[in-house]
Amino acid sequence: MHEAVFAAALGALEQGEDAALVTIVSTQGSTPQRTGARMLVFADGRIIGTIGGGCYENDAAGKARESIRTRKAGVARYDLSDGLAEENGLICGGRMEVFIEPLDPSPRLLVVGAGHVSQHVARLAADVGFRVHVLDDRESFAHRDRFPSATDVTVADIAEYLAAAALSPAAYVVVVTRGHTHDLAAMRALAGRPLRYVGMIGSRAKVARIFDALAGDGVPAEWLCGVRAPIGLQIGAVTPEEIAVSIVAELVAVRRGVAAEAATTAMKDRR
């Protein structure tokens, strides 16, 4: 069982998928599982392994999903002789303590566009632990000399590539193409997908036009509310370097669970 849990944890880390490891760290008396039993809980509720089943495992799984959201580890303690245990037929008479630890994979960041801002975003994002993939339709821009820190650099039609791309719900996408037409095409290809982060560069007027077009296409308002646009934290950035700092700072804030209100605030500002 441990092998399956560790294999799944390694896969989650490699794929940048959100998950938390739950481990029994101490027991007293009679318990369903011994110290060292583990389970891996994914953000979508999937579980690999077990710490004994029943109501306490369900409770620990819920706490694990919360730890994924907050990016904070913690300890949960369970008394297996209380009323809840009796109701669920789990009267073992013992106690157990579990440690809940969110995994910290290197998240995947797709940078759509290979211009000046993209260069700085790719470099800074790689420096803080993102695995960067750059996409552009211009071979003269999208190449290794310009993006030495990127894991992948792809030259392809932007809309066609995104429409066919298998993007994990844990993926981050930054749309910073060379103009309104390409930004809109990229956003149409991404629309409706459950992604950890989607951000688009542009003035408020440009963002409003693109969002109106997407809404006219039938893109759900809930999805649009999750898009960070204008992209980046509001630090008064002007130069490509400063704009990249604001974007990567927002990526980090989302990764660490401290930017939950950013999209809602941005949506209100667009109205």
Residue with the two structure tokens 């809109």: 184
Give the pLDDT confidence score for residue 2 in this predicted structure: 79
> Which residues, at least 6 apart from 271, have a Cβ–Cβ distance to it below 8 Å?
none
Q: What is the pLDDT of residues 74-83, one digit of tens each?
A: 999 988 765 5
pLDDT above 80: residue 91:
no
First-residue to last-residue Cα distance in the chain: 52
Q: What is the pLDDT of residues 50-67, one digit of tens each?
A: 998 777 899 999 999 999
Ramachandran angles phi, psi of 177, nearest 5°: -80, -175
> How far, in Å, CA of 211 to CA of 218, rounded?
11
Residue type, position 114, single letter: A
CB 226 within 8 Å of CB 198: yes
Q: What is the pLDDT of residues 96-148, one digit of tens each?
A: 899 999 998 788 999 999 999 999 999 999 999 999 999 999 999 999 999 99
> Could you tell me the residue ranges of all domains in the chain?
2-102, 108-270
Residue with the two structure tokens 């029994």: 24
- Average pLDDT, integer, range 29-42: 89
As a whole number, the mean pLDDT across the chain is 89
> How far, in Å, CA of 124 to CA of 128, rounded?
7
pLDDT-derived band at 262 (thresholds 50, 70, 90) equals: very low
Q: What is the pLDDT of residues 188-235, one digit of tens each?
A: 999 999 999 999 999 999 999 999 999 999 999 999 999 999 999 999
Give the pLDDT confidence score for residue 264 in this predicted structure: 40
Burial class (CB in 10 A: 0-12, 13-18, 19+), 222: exposed
> How far, in Å, CA of 7 to CA of 37, rounded?
15
CATH number listed for the domain at residues 108-270: 3.40.50.720
Name the nearest CA neighbour of 32 among 105, 97, 94, 114.
94
Q: How do strand 38-42 and strand 19-28 relate by DSSP bridges?
A: antiparallel
